[in-house]
Structure 1
Amino acid sequence: MGPSLPPPSARSLLQSPGWGAQLRVALQELVTARAPSPPLAAFDFDETCIFGDISETMLALIAGDTGADLVEPYLRAVARDPLSAYLDLVDTLIAGRTEPQVRQLALRTLDQGRRSGRIVLREAMRELIWAMHRHGWEVWIVTASPEAVVQPIAERFGVHPHRVLGMRCGKDTQGRYAPGVLEPYTYRQGKLDALHAATGRDPVFAAGDSRTDEALLRAARHALLIDRGDATLRTEAEAGGWWIQPAETLQPRPPPPPPP
């Protein structure tokens, strides 16, 4: 695994000011509880581990590089048929590229996304994942973004590339990703199916932000909804006894404006 950010301080499990007081205590108790075998945790990536969407940010970067009109047609396609649009997006992002090329493009997207404010690595989620690692948890990221795109960024959270499950394409004889996404598609129920195929079990803990994460959240013994304002999803979370964390409290304060 490549270099990652230094681990959060071990003085306290969850120090980020973003966590609600009661949720902080509940998460710390969960993380440190003894278990006969490594507990399984599953995290969505876009808008959960990070603020923003790495695939959409990469699409905008490619559009800027090539001058192609990519973003607006993609958004219109999402409005018509989200899954079909996501599958086409995977092809646009990685088909015809090698794994090292995708990695380089993903890291460039991360760098430019952080500079522009389109992408923020959520420190609260990073410290939660590190705390789980320190206490023997098996942590996976399950994402609807391309697996090869998320893998190098997951390293910043201390998650090994082999524990990232996302949209996958096969490779041709020259090692380039081939068009066509392989099943199971990591979307809605497919996220849980992929996790089952990789681990053979349901998660003890799952975190997500949208309806595409519902299957994972429902399957988990303890679920955390990053609430971005979907009233229907919040109602389901309340009925299901899920933990709820407002997304805006996990955001860093914007930098102060430059002096005049």
Structure 2
Amino acid sequence: MSPRHTTRRLQRLAAAAITAAALVAVAPSAEAAHPGAPCTTPQLKDGWYGDNRARLQQLIDRHARCNPYRPTRAKPVAVFDWDNTVVKNDVGDATMFWLLRNSKIRQPARGDWSTTSRFLTPAAAKALAEACAPLARPGTPLPTGTPAGAGCADEVHAVYATAATRTGAAAFTGWDHRTMEPGYAWLAQLMQGWTARDIRRFAAAARTENLAAPVGATQQVGTGRATGWVRYYDQQKDLVNSLRRAGFDVWISSASPQPVVEVWAQGVGIDAGRVIGIRNTTTRAGTYTPHLKGCGSVPDGADTMITYIDGKRCWINQEVFGVRGPAAEKVQPAARRQVFAAGDSDTDISFLRDATGLRLAVNRNKNELMCRAYDNSDGKWIVNPMFIEPKPHRSSPYPCSTTGYVDHDGTPGPVRRDDTTVIPDQTDTVF
């Protein structure tokens, strides 16, 4: 062998030795590669009622990526409502009040307020037109943040907050009470003419103000006062973070507008792709229309299916689990449902009931939610007081056996279990 060939052979052997040494240095040890290797499961912080922390920790331990069987299965899904579940107070309200104070709501087409919601009553459309029509041309912002526009701001605020005009006339009629809340939807519909980027900017400004304001603060809206502060719940931030670190696929489902919740969800580490809020249809230019995207059997623009009670089930099935068409409106097999769910209101009841592992009810004294949570017929419910300014003890039982349930047409009735038996009235015990 020539000296040149010997040199090349030695160089190749040296390079191979270096490569092998590097691989040994970076390769996981046999222990680390073994399914039973050490793995740290997140531990929840204190601040929970009773044994709720222990129950939640058991759920995390059972489904965490550290469990040897987890690598061979899909991520377990957890879904949280947002307003008054992850935060104290309502980010939709905070945004509406900011829009009114900063004159960002536009005069509707032809000054006809009935175009802003198919459920708006003639009385409400007339009251809004009388208060707002003289103030701006169609399509341009109304001066609701000025003294001249205070009456318009008051009328919009009344319809939004009380579902009635300032004179007490009903503002909405004819909606399905299990798939739609027209007041919630109306906020998104009043964002017409703006882009999602605009709304995120508005929501970010409102977020900054509401987080900076002291607890209990109010703000002037029109000639009246409205809630002026929001806070993240530390316990829920910790729970969301722990679930994510444990390998859960964590989602937010809210009946506030999509871009608004996107902005707030960043504060707990949830990106826009894991947020499901009320979604507008858009023009070719990307501006919002007063119409909404549909789900299941409901087409875009029908404006009858938002993220509300049964509508939340549909949107979760569609966006999280990929179920399309009318099937999205139905309860799915256990393997295609969330393991954990958290909510605070009757608006959350369907997606909470769908959770297969554990369901957290934040107690705001809501009838159907608390009837089902306290009945706890399958042992998967836990109840926690609100983490900031909890509701006091409700002295009278929840009317589960008579009027705790609201049907599609708004008729009250008894709350029934899956086997159709009636839940008896329940006593408030967690407060």
Interval of TM-score (by shorter of Structure 1 and Structure 2): 0.7 to 0.9
**Does the alignment pair 1:228 with 2:390?**
no
Q: Which residue number corresponds to residue 13 of structure 1?
A: 43
C-alpha offsets along residues 150-180 of structure 1, whole Å, 9 cap, x if unaligned? 0121111111111101110122122212221
Structure showing greater radius of gyration is: 2
Shift of 1:103: 1.0
C-alpha offsets along residues 161-207 of structure 1, whole Å, 9 cap, x if unaligned? 11101110122122212221111311111101111112222111000
Q: Which residue number corresponds to residue 4 of structure 1?
A: none
| 1:177 partner letter | Y
1:37 pairs with one of 61, 74, 82: 74
> Does the residue aligned with 2:100 lie in a helix, a strand or coil?
helix
**8 Å Cα contact 1:144-1:186 kept in structure 2:** yes
The whole-number CA distance in structure 1 between the counterparts of 2:45 and 2:370 is 25
> Does the residue aligned with 2:370 lie in a helix, a strand or coil?
helix
Q: Which residue number corresponds to residue 237 of structure 1?
A: 373
> Does the residue aligned with 2:78 lie in a helix, a strand or coil?
strand
C-alpha offsets along residues 20-64 of structure 1, whole Å, 9 cap, x if unaligned? 241111111111223433111010000101111111111111111
Q: Which residue number corresponds to residue 182 of structure 2?
A: 84
The whole-number CA distance in structure 1 between the counterparts of 2:280 and 2:368 is 33
**8 Å Cα contact 2:41-2:246 kept in structure 1:** no
Structure showing the higher strand proportion among its residues: 1
Q: Which residue number corresponds to residue 256 of structure 1?
A: none
Q: Which residue number corresponds to residue 107 of structure 2?
A: none
Q: Which residue number corresponds to residue 74 of structure 1?
A: 160
**8 Å Cα contact 2:46-2:53 kept in structure 1:** no
Shift of 1:231: 4.9
The whole-number CA distance in structure 2 between the counterparts of 1:230 and 1:176 is 36
The whole-number CA distance in structure 2 between the counterparts of 1:252 and 1:84 is 28
2:282 pairs with one of 171, 174, 177: 171
2:93 pairs with one of 22, 35, 56: 56
Return the TM-score normalized by structure 1.
Answer: 0.85
Deviant stretches of 4+, over 4 Å: 78-82
**Does the alignment pair 1:97 with 2:194?**
yes
Q: Which residue number corresponds to residue 199 of structure 1?
A: 320
C-alpha offsets along residues 200-251 of structure 1, whole Å, 9 cap, x if unaligned? 221110000000100011111211000012355322102133100011xx12
| 1:22 partner letter | D
The whole-number CA distance in structure 2 between the counterparts of 1:161 and 1:146 is 12
C-alpha offsets along residues 91-146 of structure 1, whole Å, 9 cap, x if unaligned? 12x32112221111111111111223321111111110110111110011001111
**Residue ranges of structure 1 left out of the alignment (5+ in a row):** 1-9, 254-260
Equivalent residue pairs, number: 240
Of structures 1 and 2, the one scoring higher in RCO (CA 8 A, sep 6+) is 1
Q: Which residue number corresponds to residue 6 of structure 1?
A: none
Return the TM-score normalized by structure 2.
Answer: 0.53
Superposition RMSD in Å: 2.1
Percent of aligned pairs sharing the same letter: 28
Q: Name the CA shift for 1:16/1:95 in 2 (closer, same or farther; >3 Å).
A: farther
**Greater CA deviation, 113-122 or 186-195?**
113-122
**Does the alignment pair 1:187 with 2:308?**
yes
The whole-number CA distance in structure 2 between the counterparts of 1:138 and 1:170 is 27
The whole-number CA distance in structure 2 between the counterparts of 1:173 and 1:16 is 50
**Does the alignment pair 1:251 with 2:388?**
yes
**8 Å Cα contact 1:13-1:127 kept in structure 2:** no
**Residue ranges of structure 2 left out of the alignment (5+ in a row):** 1-39, 104-143, 145-152, 165-169, 173-179, 216-228, 296-305, 322-335, 391-431
Q: Name the CA shift for 1:96/1:80 in 2 (closer, same or farther; >3 Å).
A: closer
Q: Name the CA shift for 1:196/1:95 in 2 (closer, same or farther; >3 Å).
A: same
**8 Å Cα contact 1:42-1:203 kept in structure 2:** yes
Structure showing the higher helix proportion among its residues: 1
**Greater CA deviation, 64-73 or 136-145?**
64-73
**8 Å Cα contact 1:13-1:128 kept in structure 2:** no
Shift of 1:76: 2.6
> Does the residue aligned with 1:126 lie in a helix, a strand or coil?
helix
The whole-number CA distance in structure 1 between the counterparts of 2:211 and 2:243 is 25
